Amino acid sequence: MTPGRRTLLAALGGGVLAACAGCGGGGGHGGHAAVATLPGAPSSTASASRGGGTRPAAARPPAVAAPLVTRAWIVARYGHRVPRTWGFDAPGVLRALPGGAGRREVALTFDACGGPGGSGYDRALIDFLRRHDVPATLFINSRWIDANPAVFGRLAREPLFEIANHGTRHRPLSVSGRSAYGIPGTRDAGEVYDEVHGNHLKLTRLLGAPPRFFRSGTAYYDDVAARIVRALGERPVTFSVNGDGGATFTPAQVRVTVEAAPSGSVVIGHMNQPGHGTARGIAEAVPRLLASGHRFVRLSDVVR
């Protein structure tokens, strides 16, 4: 579901350079009583008949409760599994768009890391995308939302942008405590659940619909953690082009890197570091890509 069909609820309470070299993380997350519906599970309500009407109440079969993915279920299912991979290439993680070079599409994705990684707002970047009608997928961390509730509300109401999950505490996603770029990762399956599902709940409450995509802090996963993300109903995402080097590139470096992005690329940048090179570099690269016949898409436009 795109942001244009989402309803923002009124209250918040209801190897290249590191993808997030300028982003911090750490800490845990409580509130484990929440549950998620198992992807593909049947609805807990009886369905309508094939003729288009509804069955009389007395004739309906008993409602079957959908299986629920709880923290305990995740720990029981994945807690003893040993990961085999670590990095950007875990099985099932989206790195590039489907369809390859023939479609001449590029997805711009921007992280808002929050916390020690920065809770700023690159207004120049977002305003450029608005002026030129360039869609993007925005991966937003729970702490950034808390620091920028009004800005988040405006972004969530704009069909141009798709809101995605960038975690609760901005941690690399590991079931064994591995770190990436000095940022401690989640230590076990339960902490993976906390990192993904904490912000999943917040975004679902604020958007009126669950996010479809998740990117971990630093975009690092092990294969077990990536499977947990999918079990929780989201698609894990990394990137194929590091557009701003974790918000460390100069405008010229951003321009050269993004302009060279091949068709089918998922480009990562940052929208939480105003004053760095991202906005200016993107503003120079995008017109060149458009002139060469590329078009920009949100992830949900092409990933089913």
User: pLDDT tens-digit profile of 135-179?
Assistant: 999 999 999 999 999 999 999 999 999 999 999 999 999 999 999
Nearest partner of 109 among 215, 249, 248, judged by Cα: 215
CB atoms within 10 A of CB 172: 27
For residue 9, pLDDT over 70 is answered with: no
The confidence score (pLDDT) of residue 228 equals 98
Residue 236 within any structural domain of the chain? yes
The CATH number of the domain where 200 resides is what? Answer: 3.20.20.370
Has residue 81 been placed in a domain? no
Instruction: Name the average pLDDT for the chain.
Output: 84
- Residues in Cβ contact with 78 at an 8 Å cutoff, skipping those fewer than 6 apart: 175, 189, 192, 224, 227, 228, 231
Residue 304 is predicted with a pLDDT of: 86
Is 82 inside a domain boundary?
no
| Domain-embedded: residue 30 | no
Range of the domain at 111: 92-302
Nearest to 247 by CA among 125, 148, 96, 154: 125
Whether pLDDT at 244 is above 80: yes
pLDDT in tens, 98-128: 986 678 999 999 999 999 889 999 999 999 9
- What letter would DSSP give residue 275? T
Q: What is the pLDDT of residues 59-91, one digit of tens each?
A: 434 443 335 799 999 999 999 999 999 999 999
- Confirm whether pTM is higher than 0.85: no
Query: Collapsing DSSP states into helix, strand and coil, what is residue 75?
Result: helix
Distance in angstroms (rounded) separating the CA atoms of residues 200 and 204 = 6
Q: How much is the average pLDDT of 173-187?
A: 97
DSSP string, 204-252: HHHHSS--SEE--GGG-EEHHHHHHHHHTT-EEB--SEESSTTTTS-HH
Distance CA 252, CA 246 (A): 15
Lowest mean pLDDT among 27-36, 209-218, 261-270: 27-36
Is the predicted pLDDT of residue 7 greater than 60, yes or no? no
Find the mean pLDDT for residues 29-49: 37
Structural domain contains residue 23: no
**Does residue 63 form part of some domain?**
no
Sign of CA dihedral 301, 257, 274, 27: positive
Q: Is residue 60 part of a domain?
A: no
Q: In total, how many domains does the chain have?
A: 1
- What is the reported pLDDT for 53? 34
Is 29 within the bounds of a domain? Answer: no
Confidence of residue 4 (pLDDT cuts 50, 70, 90): very low
